[in-house]
Amino acid sequence: MTDTKITLPESEIPRAFYNIAPDLPTPLPPPLHPGTRQPIGPQDLAAIFPQGLIAQEMSQERWVDIPDQVRDIYRLYRPSPVYRARAFEELLDTPAHIYYKSEHVSPVGSHKLNSAIMQAWMNKEEGVKRLATETGAGQWGSALSCACQLIGLECMVYMVRVSYDQKPYRRIMIRSYGAEVVPSPSPLTHQGRAVLARDPDSPGSLGIAISEAVEDAATRDDTNYALGSVLNHVVLHQTIIGQEAKKQMELAGEYPDIVIGCHGGGSNFAGLAFPFLKDKLDGTRPGLRAVAAEPLACPSLTQGRREYDFGDTGGTTPLMMMHTLGHDFMPRPVHAGGLRYHGSSPLVSHLLDAGLVEAEAYPQGEVFATAVKFARCEGTFPAPESAHAIHSAVQHALKARDAGTPTVILFNLSGHGLFDLAAYESYLTGKMDLNA
């Protein structure tokens, strides 16, 4: 019997990020300037991003070195284990082997710290004093505030008002890490004041909070902006997940038939899937399937159109070619706050169009039923976001059972749900809108 928990020593923390851009079958359409609609250059991003990250955003190098100082901080929680979900397999009575990469073991409880550390380090290197960002449910805000504290930067977080009010623990965590956090829309920015003038009780949205954080960074010399998903450099940083997982699957003596991640902006899905997709793109693993699982309430990949759209509500960011529901789309208030984003990673969108990745959408009632079953078998409470990946894994494990085919499934447990217990309560007490 192979181990339940497959671990790697710290010496196996990856030394480079994997950049899928040069391996794409066709080049990625460039982002466009919101005013001129011409392709943007590095100088267009310099007001809010450091040169090092802009270079990564546009890089065509397959491997991008990870600085030693960043690898040293990764030692706090990496490499993260891969688990074989034996009890869960038994419950499902499936011949499938189900594995999960456990990104929930990071100090902040999700994969987001992987990119936050790299982004904070690069900004510090280039003399930036302060980072501004947005957060929805609070996962990215807590990751960036933790990284800024570890690296020595100030941090300003615009938190979507409804989460600020309803999810106190994430904002307490952000403050405890030493960052400033305000509800968005806020009176501190032009964008925030404009929304408040129209609707003083606005619950806020991720798109509005992004507009505020970008404005903050663009109007202050000492401040840059940091985004927790979607962009090429964020996806790039997350590829340490899949690189570790490949070594761990090798130790288990298996190669996955299907890799699965939940999909909000695309970073944890891509982080796990891209290093495996490298093998599909170079022809060594033509049969590999990569599945992105999203909420039915915000189905950007399964129902959105692939077109140029803004990353924020205010229409101030560059236009990106991506699957989008429209930058003014207001998703229903499902509990997977981290998946309520109108757009998607241009890289994931590009691969979806090329038929190299697949997408599935699920209603939250089904997702929570799976989350509770998983917790009862494996002990760990999945984040509502991550539970979408688990639910997809269940569907594929049941198909394997019905077809009688042994299938190896690997999904990303992108975060734990210990700050989401109110969502579990609403499910358990029958108050949840199951069909949302």
Ligand X SMILES: *Cc1c(COP(=O)(O)O)cnc(C)c1O
* Interface contacts to ligand X, rule CB under 6 A: 110, 112, 139-140, 229, 262-269, 338-339, 383, 385-386, 414-415
SS3 label, residue 102: strand
Q: Residue 268 Cβ, how far from ligand X at the closest point, in Å?
A: 3
Task: Let me know the angle formed at the C-alpha of 163 by 433 and 297, rounded to the nearest 5 degrees.
Answer: 35
Question: How far is 63 from 422, CA to CA, in rounded Å?
Answer: 42
CB 334 → ligand X: shortest distance, Å? 13
CB of 220 to ligand X, least distance (A): 26
Which helix (H) or strand (E) covers residue 83, if one does? strand 82-84
Min dist CB 122 to ligand X, Å, is: 19
Comparison of 419 and 427: residue with beta carbon closer to ligand X: 419
What CA–CA distances, in Å, run from 17 to 70, 296, 435? 12, 32, 39
CB closer to ligand X, 223 vs 412: 412
Q: Distance (Å, rounded) from C-alpha 176 to C-alpha 169?
A: 10
Closest CA to 147 of 166, 135, 131, 161: 131
Nearest to 179 by CA among 198, 153, 205: 153
- Residue with the shortest CB distance to ligand X: 415
Taking the complex as a whole, how short is the minimal distance between the CB of residue 181 and ligand X, in angstroms?
Answer: 16
Nearer to ligand X, 256 or 295 (CB): 295
The residue among 94 and 141 lying less far from ligand X, judged by its C-beta, is 141
Output the smallest distance, CB 81 to ligand X, in A.
16
d(CA 276, CA 292): 14
**Residue number, 252 or 374, with CB nearest to ligand X:** 374
Q: Report the SS3 class of residue 263.
A: coil
Secondary structure letter of residue 51 according to DSSP: H
Nearer CB in complex with ligand X: 50/261:
261
